Amino acid sequence: MNANPLLDFSGLPRFSEFRVEHVTPAVDRLLEENRRLVSTLTDSPAAPTLVADGVSGLPGAASERPFSGHASGLWEAFVTPLEEANERLSRAWGQVAHLNAVMNSPELREAYNANLSKVTQYYAEISQHQGLYRQFKKLRALPEFDGLAPARKKVVENALRDFRLGGAELPEAQRVRYMEISERLAALSSRFSDNLLDATNAYARWAKSPAEVAGLPEDVLAAARQAAEAEHRDGWKFTLHAPSYLPVMQYADNGSLRQDLYRAYGTRASEWGPAKWDNTALIAEILRLRQEEARLLGFAHYTDLSLQTKMARSPREVLEFLSELAAKARPYALRDLQEVADFAQQRLGLRELEPWDLAYASEKLRLERYAFSEQEVKQYFPEPRVLLGMFRLVESLYGIRVEAAQTQVWHPDVRFFRVIESSGVEAGGFYLDPYARTSKRGGAWMDDAVGRRRRRDGVQHPVAYLNCNFAAPVGGKPALFTHDEVITLFHEFGHGLHHLLTRVDELGVSGINGVEWDAVELPSQIMENFCWEWEVLRGMTGHVDSGAPLPRELFDKMRAAKNFQIGLQTLRQIEFALFDLKLHWDFDPQGDKTALDLLNEVRRQVAVWFPPDYERFPHGFSHIFAGGYAAGYYSYKWAELLSADAYSLFEERGVLSAEVGGKFRDEVLGMGGSRPALESFAAFRGRGPSIDALLRHSGMA
């Protein structure tokens, strides 16, 4: 067994043995081995005659026996060893990046950032490597290429596209500049994320009297008291982490408490706080570099570059989609806002509906109109019941079994599960890290730990990370989820299923790999729909005290309130999507206008509700400045259209139909990125997508 756990690829990661001092030696060794292999595959006179029979799994181990000249021979001699080497680096660095996101510490952050530039430089080198590019073009030009399996052909086509987008066709000086931009953008994105986490962790609002915390649910108060006791203080501690922040905004009767947290949250990582965490300059530089990168590659705007790997064909098509949806949603948003404003004035005595009042007044209105609160519902969703019900659902739809298993994890709260096929064969596994903590970045996300591919000794099973930021258990009771949190969990599990249930054996297009970014949310969003089905919920609920299932009467109220304020919610998502689109399309990052100026322009065009002038939403918009959604945030609404239309087949044939579930697995989940997403959708639905189901599901038909 390798002394450095990052260099052991024989099984699951050895998280409990990980030390920060393992990072640099592992990265340096893998980079050296990979560069040596690339040289062997491209620079030596014998390169075209390499075959993979002698590859031991270590880079550079290919033998130099005669190459037959066929596409399959070149694949095994060239693509396979290159893929294996890059996968080793990806798996090792992936563990480091994952731990930096979920167990952040000063020492790990320093090691991560110190090695990030080296890893980024390597991938930039690979994306421009002339020898590799020639080999892929040679493979594509062989007469036998058309005889390759579709997945292999897609890998090659994607590789050629990525070489072009990686600067392989640029003159030497411009290739060097492209690499500099890539390294700088990676560093800036990491810094953006670090600043946001530090600014979030730095804030605390203390409350000492019961009057200050009136209206807050008991479990929220218990967690806040526990947080205060951990620092040997009396009273309650509230933070900007979601399990603390969101309930305050929704339930706290104390308007001053709501206002304080609202302002702190809305100004994180901005000029309103410590200069060391201010993301203002980072945003400007990121935008300038993205524009320069796009123009180096011959695109007028970064959006044009971004759409090369998406379903949408042009910025104009995205703009028209968002504009059509905004026009549909605006009347509903105006109605929603007027209703809550009238209610706040007449029933709550709030003459002016301030931004920190909106969630609070909306919850009170929901309670009066539908006679239930989210806190009431929450008691029926203890974590063990939710997980059991979610697993039962996918077992019935996809013919699989989910079993708890033991392996090394990075935190005591983390659990590992194996996914077993009906035949008894293992399909893959996933880690579940459900709770918020100060060392973990906010939000919820899925990431891949291991991808599926066929090795010489059999199929390598995929493994996923599922990460959420729910409130941890308090007082000996299990964690309780709101219905929105149940939806979030189902969403991330949908991403996980996309990764785990693939049947494609080529790593580059198995699971989520190679899937167009604006289609990657389809499997996750289709899972959300099941959270509104009585057939599903009745089997996954049980009151935390009595064990009684969710009453049908309460479920009916939840269904009636499903589209409560859907207009406001839809316009808010469109606001973010349009801001992102225009920021990377017709915005001049060299000009006098700032990103915040542009956001305010977008709001004046589509919004009906406006935050205070001090709000700095862009400074916390990690999706586009520290994630993969730059010029792609529209994907959430784009994929929601796909998922609503796809789910309508379940509605037509039966929500728990194993036949429809099997078809969705075969044509969407199983296919991964081995063919265009639109082809997979049409193969499942029998036609192209339509907006009708989305409007119907949203109550805007």
Cα separations in angstroms, 679 against 311, 601, 634: 11, 37, 20
With beta carbons less than 8 A apart as the criterion, state whether 410 and 445 touch: no
Nearest CA to 416 out of 461, 360, 456, 377 is that of 461
Closest CA to 530 of 486, 466, 497: 486
Amino acid letter, 632? G
Per the annotation, the verdict on 553 as an active-site residue is: no
Please tell me the distance from the alpha carbon of residue 258 to that of residue 266, in angstroms, as a whole number: 12
Rg (CA), the chain: 26
Burial profile 43-66: b = 16 or more Cβ within 10 angstroms, e = fewer? eeeebbbbbbeebeeebbbbeeee
- Count CB-CB contacts under 10 A for residue 32: 12
The residue whose two tokens read 């962790």 is 201
Cα angle 202, 205, 207 (rounded to 5 degrees) comes to: 150
Residue 458, phi then psi, degrees to nearest 5:
125, -170
Could you give the CA distance from residue 612 to residue 489 in angstroms, rounded to a whole number? 32
From the number of C-beta atoms within 10 Å of its C-beta (0-12, 13-18, 19+), residue 140 rates as middle
Contact (Cβ atoms closer than 8 angstroms) between residue 561 and residue 536: no
* Angle value at C-alpha 651, between 649 and 654, nearest 5 degrees: 95
Q: What are phi and psi of 534, to 5 degrees?
A: -60, -40
| Interstrand relation of 426-435 and 463-470 (parallel, antiparallel or unpaired) | parallel
- Rounded CA-CA distance 517/521 in Å is 8
d(CA 430, CA 447): 10
Instruction: Determine contact, residues 127/167, Cβ cutoff 8 Å.
Output: yes
CA distance 533 to 550: 12
Q: How far is CA 233 from CA 168, 197, 222, 387, in A?
A: 59, 24, 14, 35
Q: Which of 76, 363, 492, 667 is catalytic?
A: 492
SS3 state at 268: coil
With contact defined as beta carbons under 8 Å apart, do 457 and 391 qualify? no
What is the distance between the alpha carbons of residues 57 and 85, in angstroms, rounded to a whole number? 8
Strand partners, 404: 417
Give first-to-last CA distance, the chain, whole Å. 60
Which element (helix H / strand E) includes 66? none
Neighbours of 633 (CB within 10 A): 24
- Which two structure tokens, joined as six digits, stand for 684? 């499942």
Which H or E run contains 429? Answer: strand 426-435
Chain centre to alpha carbon of residue 626 = 11
* Tokens representing residue 321 in the block: 């989609």
CB atoms within 10 A of CB 228: 19
Name the H helices within 373-448: 374-378, 383-398
**Of the candidates 446, 495, 430, 457, the residue with the CA atom closest to the CA atom of residue 84:** 457
Residues serving a catalytic function are 492
